[in-house]
Amino acid sequence: MSSPKKKSKKTTVLTPNARMVLEKRYLKKDADGNPIETPADLFRRVADTIARADLKFDPNADAGKTARMFEDLMMHLHFLPNSPTLMNAGRRLGQLAACFVLPIEDSMESIFETLKHTAIIHKTGGGTGFSFSKIRPQNDMVLSTAGISSGPISFMTVFDVATETVKQGGTRRGANMGILRVDHPDVEAFVTAKNDLSRLNNFNISVALTREFMEALEQDAPFELVNPRSEKPVASVPAKRIFDAIVDSAWRTGDPGVLFIDRINEDNPIPHLGAVEATNPCGEQPLLPYESCTLGSINLTKMVTGGKIRFDRLKKTVHAAVHFLDNVVEVNRYPLSQIEKMSMGTRKIGLGVMGFADMLILLGIPYDSEEAVSTAETVMAFIQAESRKASGALGKKRGNFPYYAGSRFDGPDTPHMRNATTTTIAPTGTLSIIAGTSSGIEPLFAVAHERHVLDGKTLYEIHPLFIQTAKKEGFYSDALVREIVASGSIHSLDSVPETVKQLFKTSHDIAPEWHVRIQAAFQKYTDNAVSKTVNFPQNATREDVNALYRLAYRSGCKGVTLYRYGSRARQVLNIGTRKVESVQVAPRPRPERTYGITQRITTGCGKLYVTINSDDTGMCEVFAQMGKTGGCASSQIEAAGRLISLALRSGVKVEAIAKQLIGIRCPSPAWQNGKIVLSCPDAIAQVLKAVTHANLEAGDTMLGVCPDCGGVMTHQEGCLVCHACGFSKCS
């Protein structure tokens, strides 16, 4: 094998955004933070490290040949492994898995042992999933102390605080998935736990819905809640009441998601080891306690030539990717011995896809069409079949996964199987930026979006396939580009043909039912589960959400996550049914951690630096500072910032604040980028309006600003992500 220290002579075609992401997050750096390897060096480092696993099974194997195959796979952007593998392969940490599930039993010892393990995992950059369903409900008896239990939600808060503490020093943020069964007595409190947007910000939460519950819901019947300590029913409540609470909270905030837990366990390949109770943070990887997920994604845009799918290339890529991921299982340095034992015992891998929306465009197929559903099924059925063939061939050569005996594969039809699972549709936010393609199986995020670069400048990027199509169809012009940048959409432009508008629909242009149908099409041929966010318009009703959940269940999905446009823009004030003569508005508390952007703007008094910080609810504070000015001007600017911050946290709309400030004049106006700046208050208003406009252009409202690049944070693939730089709140 070639030395990993030798510079690679191979090159790959990367977008400027992809290079920026690689330099910021993935490439090795010196003590001053400067990259000391190129993207080609990174791919070679990863390929060499992963290929060495071949020698464990055959000392005479040509690991150099395998390394070249893996390197070509990544260099041509046909396949990329998950981020921890790209970051850590061949480096000191060596932790290559993205996510883990840990057990929580009904005892202080178990809870805090798991908390310790969680901190260890988060320190290595992994995410964690838990089921809190075994913890006795709030106010239940505690025999050892003759006291009462504080319940699962109180312990979730402990995990949340610990995650917040650990992630302060990490390069990847730890994230959690908290799950509670629908028959737990505390389920209704759990469902509403994140309606207060200041709580559990390091958790995604999902309710595990059972078949028994769904049947009770269908029949409008009562449903029994069971104390997990005694395993006896403690209450009978209308199933509809619980379901309506789930629907209401999801409509308000996007949380909780739902998991159809019995369907997940029907597909559990190793039931002899136990039932699945939890998933990873984005919900696509059901795992047993102490299992980890080894994931990677095929770039579907590279599987299309001349408007047709290249199944020969796809087959070759699938087999190489399964080989790669099985090697990752082998060389990974696991954070806990229990995780190493389970991960090596089941050898689960999850091969998924990215670039599905772009693939459809290349094929001339609208996302919301029967042909798109058929294409999804065809492509994923092929990937699943070939991945199992590849795993079978590896099993014959290297041996079956150790827990094969007693598994669903144990039989004459599948005498060899190296991996208990082979397919997962995982989020690909950052990977898709590196690959220069659309994320996972999501629709397009936008036809045009902005990217913040050095010195406060903003660049606008138009989807390359749209430019290609516009030039081919003869309607491309510089004026068209300016129109798209100004409007953020192509659907109001008369110069764009209707057929092109249909082809380039974005996530908020797609009806929720089509989101579910595409998810179900991929789920049909996926071993694990599918990461997907169903987008709703702001005017969607609770009845729409209710119907969507039922459709997802009927369609065969294993879970569903939704987000209603703008639902986190404001916190609904609940005052019950009594008549209230007046409501006294109080500002929400300032969170411990916010994310912000600083904009420099020229005023007649000098350069003003305006910082706008956001939390999960939206903008929450504004600071402004003049370069070298002190005295009265500085104190007035500080006072303005304090009052604006107070108004923001009290629910006053940004537009209303900006309207009061815009146009205020001082004796010394100034010009910046062709715009007049009348005063310091006018400057602050201009920055407020610009950030708000950026949020609206991106198809989301006031979700906050990316802490890394100042881009817009949006809901996608079950998480809060930035499309400009790949930052994800879930990793």
Interval 212-250: pLDDT, tens: 999 999 999 999 999 999 999 999 999 999 999 999 999
| pLDDT(452) > 80 | no
pLDDT band at 544 (very low <50, low <70, confident <90, very high): very high
DSSP string, 355-371: -HHHHHHHHT--SSSHH
**Looking at residue 598, what is its pLDDT?**
83
19 within a domain of the structure (yes/no): no
**Looking at residue 637, what is its pLDDT?**
86
Task: Please measure the distance between the N-terminal and C-terminal CA atoms of the chain and give it in whole angstroms.
Answer: 33
Q: How many residues does the chain have?
A: 731
What is the domain-level CATH number for residue 266?
3.20.70.20
**Looking at residue 363, what is its pLDDT?**
98
Higher pLDDT, 637 or 504: 504
Question: What tens digit of pLDDT does each residue of 310-338 get?
Answer: 999 999 999 999 999 999 999 999 999 99
125 within a domain of the structure (yes/no): yes
Question: What tens digit of pLDDT does each residue of 519-535 get?
Answer: 999 999 999 999 999 99
**Looking at residue 9, what is its pLDDT?**
65
Question: What tens digit of pLDDT does each residue of 639-652 get?
Answer: 888 889 888 887 78
Higher pLDDT, 697 or 343: 343
Average pLDDT over residues 524-548: 95
**Looking at residue 720, what is its pLDDT?**
74
| pLDDT(689) > 70 | yes
Question: What tens digit of pLDDT does each residue of 192-206 get?
Answer: 999 987 889 899 999
**Looking at residue 586, what is its pLDDT?**
60
Higher pLDDT, 537 or 340: 340
Residues 6+ apart with CB under 8 A from 531: 282, 283, 284, 425, 426, 427, 440, 717, 718
Last residue of a domain, one of 244, 279, 314: 279
Give the amino acid at 384. Answer: Q
* 595 neighbors 567 (Cβ within 8 angstroms): no
| pLDDT(499) > 90 | yes
User: Which 3-state string (H, E, C) describes 73-107?
Assistant: HHHCCCEEECHHHHHHCCCCCCCCCCEEECCCCCC
pLDDT band at 583 (very low <50, low <70, confident <90, very high): very low
**Looking at residue 659, what is its pLDDT?**
82
Closest by CA to 621, choosing from 599, 654, 646, 657, is 646
Distances (CA, A) of 190 to 2, 26, 194, 289, 560: 54, 37, 8, 22, 17
H or E element, residue 601: strand 595-603
**Looking at residue 600, what is its pLDDT?**
85
637 within a domain of the structure (yes/no): yes
Residue 557, helix vs strand vs coil: coil
Last residue of a domain, one of 264, 279, 294: 279
187 within a domain of the structure (yes/no): yes
**What's the domain range around 161?**
99-279
**Looking at residue 457, what is its pLDDT?**
56
pTM of the model: 0.82
Average pLDDT over residues 11-40: 91
544 within a domain of the structure (yes/no): no
CA dihedral 176, 180, 185, 190 (to 10 degrees): 50
669 within a domain of the structure (yes/no): yes
Q: Which two tokens stand for residue 237?
A: 């409540």
pLDDT band at 74 (very low <50, low <70, confident <90, very high): very high
- Lowest-confidence pick of 437-451, 461-475, 593-607: 593-607
How does the average pLDDT of the chain come out, rounded?
A: 88
- Lowest-confidence pick of 51-55, 162-166, 349-353, 673-677: 673-677
CB-side exposure of 390: number of CA atoms within 13 Å?
25
**Looking at residue 649, what is its pLDDT?**
82
**Looking at residue 630, what is its pLDDT?**
57
Show which residues are catalytic.
Answer: 280, 282, 284
576 within a domain of the structure (yes/no): no
Tally of domains within the chain: 2
Last residue of a domain, one of 279, 303, 331: 279
634 within a domain of the structure (yes/no): yes
**Looking at residue 694, what is its pLDDT?**
57
**Looking at residue 4, what is its pLDDT?**
46
